[in-house]
């Protein structure tokens, strides 16, 4: 069993925080504000974001709308900003967590705060942000230089908080501890928190002290720092006893976890039910001691309210069992694993609009500076691009890559965005050209190329380093493997192509991409099979349902339903001696094809 020191609730956690190093870190990408009560409260955050050249993201609900935020932030014309209306009852599968269904530990007064912060984390991953500052709307008094220095600390640390000591950012019980004469410091919190979003893979659960749980693993790694100060609007902590009752489980659970960090115990020590039994007993003694001191504050007008809040906290503590704590710990750990897996599977969005569509959000207001595509990391969009919901794009893929240069002249533009349909999967080191379109459910495997202006149907598989040329068309349900599909080729529906479709190049003395040297491209009608290493040359048509054998060369039109071998050797399936003739590949009931002999 792991012994616990006394008292169980420490008056400071300062020793768990590291000093923020010099200026070796990074700039700030975004400021994310949870807005609920007043749009005017966002004005300070907007001014800060403008000074830091960071994007301001405001999550709006209840009494605040995106339209109202737009009126406030328009005072900073150079500011990049986005305001999102969060609908009542909003849900998304990416945000689903088992801990959110643990109703016995949730706090009603927190509302959608955790939800908004988690949306900020998802946006950061989708848009490739490296560093994010989370701010609550009741935070003010931020100094630009202090925030910049704190952000620089993210070069070495995962999380850096600004100390909110005025008004003290404490739980109700800790406020009562201070009121009764106890020494009580503040800790870093989500109300003013800088996060290395490209490294941290945690989330904010729906519980009081959700921010402590968010960075608990970073605390164990000694990767949390403190730098600078902020001011919080004052409130009356003792006015509503329900506040203390609602906070009690989160206070017990988070303080219990932090005790592990103080004692440098492994996180598994909290798996022991007895650990929580002894901690709950120490917590009861801590509350009793505060009650005794508060009862002696005869001259304090806050004494009756403080006593009521402490009684509510103790009543709630008495209902918390060690088994509940241990069970919540297991559930939270499973949620952490699932959350990290979701972050790894997220696509890279190429615009704010596509990121919002993936998250199922609408009604947003956006500054003109954000209407252009995002360019982050190795994902690029040199023209507008749209990625639909549930599509995955590997971080090394390039979306919207520009047309290659021509030896003579320029490409005639199609005037359309690059589009990635719903449920697509774009593998590592793929290149999708600008103005290309991929239908729903299409898979582009590692190292494949889809050039500019190509149109790919739905449920297409492009694999084995295949290349689909500019302005080529590939129909639904086709497979393109290890193939060169030359420019302007047309591949019908339900085709399988493992050979090459190429131009004839009758006059190699001309520049190969000059307009006067342009040759007609091959056309494959529906249900055509082209075998491995076969070559289809020039402006010819392979008829519906034909089978071009591996290694064949085809330079003339092929009627529907034929087998091609060698060089333009055409065979009727009824005359074919091999098993291929009996394959279901050749339809037997269509009037277009001769009957296959049984």
Query: What is the 3 state secondary structure string of 111-156?
Result: CCHHHHHHHHHHHHHHHCCCEEEEEECCEECCCHHHHHHHHHHHHC
Alpha helix ranges (H) inside 10-143: 43-52, 66-73, 113-127
CA nearest 445: which of 340, 456, 343, 339? 456
Q: Are strands 484-485 and 467-468 parallel, antiparallel or unpaired?
A: parallel
End-to-end, the C-alpha distance of the chain in Å comes to 78
User: Residue 229 in 3-state DSSP?
Assistant: strand
Which tokens hold the place of 216? 């608990």
Please give the CATH topology (third level) of the domain spanning 483-598: UDP N-Acetylglucosamine Acyltransferase; domain 1 (2.160.10)
pLDDT at 150: 92
Cis bond before residue 509 (omega within 30° of 0): no
Q: For the chain, what is the radius of gyration of the CA atoms? A: 32
> Which pLDDT value is given to residue 581?
81
Same topology, domains 373-476 and 483-598? Answer is yes
Please write the tens of the pLDDT for every residue from 509-541: 877 777 667 889 999 999 999 999 999 999 999
- Phi first, then psi, for residue 431 (nearest 5°) are -125, 125
Which of these, 176, 179, 182, lies nearest to 311 by C-alpha position?
Answer: 176
| Rounded Cα–Cα distance for residues 433 and 73 (Å) | 36
Question: Residue 25: what pLDDT?
Answer: 55
Give the E-state strand segments of 535-576 in sequence order. Answer: 535-537, 541-542, 547-548, 553-554, 563-565, 569-571
The CATH number corresponding to 373-476 among 2.160.10, 3.30.70, 2.60.120, 2.60.40 equals 2.160.10
Cβ atoms within 10 Å, residue 527 = 23
| CB distance 471 to 454 below 8 Å | yes
Please report the DSSP string for 427-480 in residue order: -TT-EEETT-EE-TT-EE-TT-EE-TT-EE-TT-EEETT-EE-TT-EE-TT-EE
Cα torsion 382, 385, 390, 391 to 10°: value is -50
Angle between helices 273-295 and 303-319 (to 10 degrees): 160
Q: Helix or strand or coil: residue 313?
A: helix
Which residues, other chains included, contact 367 with Cβ-Cβ below 8 Å and sequence gap of 6+?
73, 79, 80, 81, 82
Q: Is CATH 3.90.550.10 the right assignment for the domain spanning 14-345?
A: yes
Could you count the other beta carbons within 10 Å of the beta carbon of residue 598?
6
Count of all residues that appear for the chain in the document: 598
The pLDDT score that the predictor gives to residue 76 is 81
Is the distance from CB of 574 to CB of 525 less than 8 angstroms? no
CA distances (Å), 21 to each of 25, 26, 131, 220, 594, in order? 9, 12, 16, 19, 80
> Beta strands 159-166 and 192-196: pairing type?
antiparallel
Q: For residue 87, what pLDDT is reported?
A: 84
Low-confidence ranges of the chain (pLDDT < 50): 1-6, 373-384, 588-591, 593-598
The alpha carbon dihedral of 38, 39, 40, 46 has a sign of: positive
Sign of CA dihedral 46, 48, 54, 60: negative
- What are the extents of the domains in the chain? 14-345, 373-476, 483-598
Distance (Å, whole) CA 189 – CA 194: 10
Buried b (16+ CB within 10 A) or exposed e, 274-312: ebbebbbebbeebbeebbebbeeeeeeebbebbbebbeb
């Amino acid at each position: 069993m792991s012994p616990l020191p006394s008292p169980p609730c420490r008056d400071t956690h300062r020793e768990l925080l590291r000093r923020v190093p010099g200026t070796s870190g990074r700039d700030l990408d975004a400021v994310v504000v949870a807005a609920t009560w007043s749009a005017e409260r966002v004005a300070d955050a907007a001014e800060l974001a403008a000074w830091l050249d960071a994007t301001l993201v405001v999550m709006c609900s209840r009494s605040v709308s995106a339209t109202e935020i737009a009126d406030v932030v328009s005072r900073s014309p150079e500011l990049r900003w986005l305001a999102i209306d969060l609908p009542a009852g909003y849900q998304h599968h990416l945000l689903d967590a088992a801990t959110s269904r643990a109703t016995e530990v949730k706090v009603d007064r927190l509302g959608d705060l955790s939800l908004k912060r988690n949306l900020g984390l998802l946006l950061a991953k989708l848009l490739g942000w490296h560093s994010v500052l989370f701010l609550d709307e009741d935070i003010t008094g931020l100094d630009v230089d202090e925030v910049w220095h704190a952000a620089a600390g993210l070069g070495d640390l995962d999380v850096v908080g600004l100390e909110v000591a005025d008004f003290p950012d404490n739980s109700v019980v800790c406020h009562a501890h201070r009121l009764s004469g106890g020494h009580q410091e503040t800790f870093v919190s989500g109300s003013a928190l800088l996060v290395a979003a490209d490294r941290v893979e945690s989330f904010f659960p729906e519980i009081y002290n959700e921010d402590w749980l968010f960075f608990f693993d970073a605390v164990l790694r000694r990767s949390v720092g403190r730098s600078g100060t902020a001011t919080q609007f004052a409130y009356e902590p003792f006015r509503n006893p329900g506040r203390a009752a609602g906070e009690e489980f989160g206070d017990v659970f988070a303080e219990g976890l932090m005790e592990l960090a103080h004692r440098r115990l492994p996180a598994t020590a909290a798996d022991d039910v007895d650990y929580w039994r002894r901690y709950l007993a120490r917590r009861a003694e801590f509350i009793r001691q505060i009650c005794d001191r508060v009862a002696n504050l005869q001259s304090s007008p806050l004494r009756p309210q403080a006593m009521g809040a402490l009684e509510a906290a103790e009543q709630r503590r008495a209902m918390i069992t060690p088994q509940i704590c241990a069970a919540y710990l297991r559930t939270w750990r499973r949620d952490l694993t699932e959350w990290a897996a979701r972050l790894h599977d997220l696509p890279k969005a190429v615009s704010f609009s596509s990121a919002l569509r993936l998250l199922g959000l609408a009604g947003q207001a956006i500054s003109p500076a954000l209407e252009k595509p995002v360019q982050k990391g190795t994902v690029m969009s040199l023209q507008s691009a749209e990625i639909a919901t549930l599509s995955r794009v590997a971080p090394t893929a390039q979306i919207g890559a520009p047309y290659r240069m021509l030896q003579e002249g320029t490409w005639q533009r199609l005037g359309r965005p690059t589009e990635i349909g719903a449920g697509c999967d774009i593998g590592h080191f793929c290149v999708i050209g600008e103005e290309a379109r991929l239908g729903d459910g299409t898979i582009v495997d590692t190292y494949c190329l889809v050039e500019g202006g190509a149109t790919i149907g739905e449920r297409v598989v492009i694999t084995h380093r295949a290349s689909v040329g500019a302005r080529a068309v590939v129909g639904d349900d086709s497979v393109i493997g290890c193939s060169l599909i030359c420019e302007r080729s047309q591949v019908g529906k339900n085709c399988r192509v493992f050979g090459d479709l190429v131009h004839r190049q009758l006059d190699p003395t001309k520049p190969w991409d000059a307009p006067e040297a342009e040759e007609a491209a091959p056309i494959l009608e529906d249900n055509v099979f082209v075998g491995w290493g076969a070559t289809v040359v020039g402006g010819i048509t392979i008829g519906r349902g034909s089978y071009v054998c591996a290694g064949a060369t085809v330079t003339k039109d092929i009627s529907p339903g034929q087998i091609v071998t060698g060089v333009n050797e055409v065979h009727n399936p009824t005359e074919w001696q091999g098993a291929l003739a009996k394959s279901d590949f050749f339809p037997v009931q269509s009037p277009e094809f001769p009957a296959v002999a049984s």
